[in-house]
A = this chain, B = another copy of it.
Amino acid sequence: MDVAISLAEEGGFENVRQRDVAAHAGVALGTLYKSFRSKEDILSAALDRETENLERRMESRPARGENAIERLDSFFNIVTRGLVRKPKYARAVLRAMASGEPEVASHVAAYHGRMTGLIIAAMRGVGRLSYTDATSSPPTEAEQTVAALLQQIWFASLVGWSAGLHGQQEVVEQTLTAAKLLTHALSCDKLDRAMEKLEKKRA
């Protein structure tokens, strides 16, 4: 995965040649294919693993801010900058995650779970969600909904950035616009009714 990441940073998705990955990693091609089922598999696994590092980082230095919006601002700035700093790698990873190959499904799911947790943690202003800690409560339905939506907007906006539709700034802006609207909606009275209906439909 390290080799794949550095090759992707150099020249993007096409530059991650399986023969090169194997050679630089000091293994044979067949061995590489024993560990990873495809190129997309490597890159999506790499993203998942890097998100683990992000979890640790956010735990030691949580997003700071007076309120949820400010903390989300901080969080999405951090993660977006982290990706956009290595544009070719970011594009390669987005491509792998959106490839729809069945072997990446587990990585996509794992990544999604991690990011949702991180977003909720940022909204709450804690380092991470500790389910064992008596002082913290499990994510509410509303938190999960908002976190999932924000993540989707962030992801889609990154795909737009990757396609050249807009720049890094717009990625954060769009995500924050959504964050403001969604948290605002959550603070309104009428929301309860909407959510009730929603849950009724799901049941």
Contacts and interface: CB of A to CB of B under 8 A. Distances in A.
Given A100-B94, A185-B181, A188-B185, A156 B165 contact: no
Given A153-B149, A182-B185, A162 B98 contact: yes
Interface centre among A92, A100, A182, A188 (most CB of B within 10 A): A100
A172 to B, nearest CB: 11
A154 to B, nearest CB: 8
Interface string A129-146: 000000000000000011
Contacts of A202: 173
Interface stretch (A15-23, A29-37, A75-83, A190-198): A190-198
A64 interface: no
A104 interface: yes
A contact patch SS: helix
Interface centre among A148, A178, A202 (most CB of B within 10 A): A178
Contacts of A152: 152-153, 156-157, 160, 174
A203 interface: no
B105 A98 contact: no
Contacts of A112: 160, 165
Given A94-B98, A95-B99, A184-B194, 17 more contacts: A91-B100, A92-B100, A95-B100, A97-B98, A98-B162, A100-B162, A105-B164, A109-B163, A109-B165, A112-B160, A149-B174, A152-B160, A152-B174, A153-B153, A178-B182, A181-B182, A185-B185
Interface of A: 13, 91-92, 94-95, 97-100, 102, 104-105, 108-109, 112, 145-146, 148-149, 151-153, 155-157, 159-160, 162-165, 173-174, 177-178, 180-182, 184-186, 188, 190-191, 194, 198, 201-202
11 contacts: A92-B100, A95-B100, A100-B159, A100-B163, A109-B165, A112-B165, A149-B153, A151-B156, A178-B182, A184-B185, A185-B188
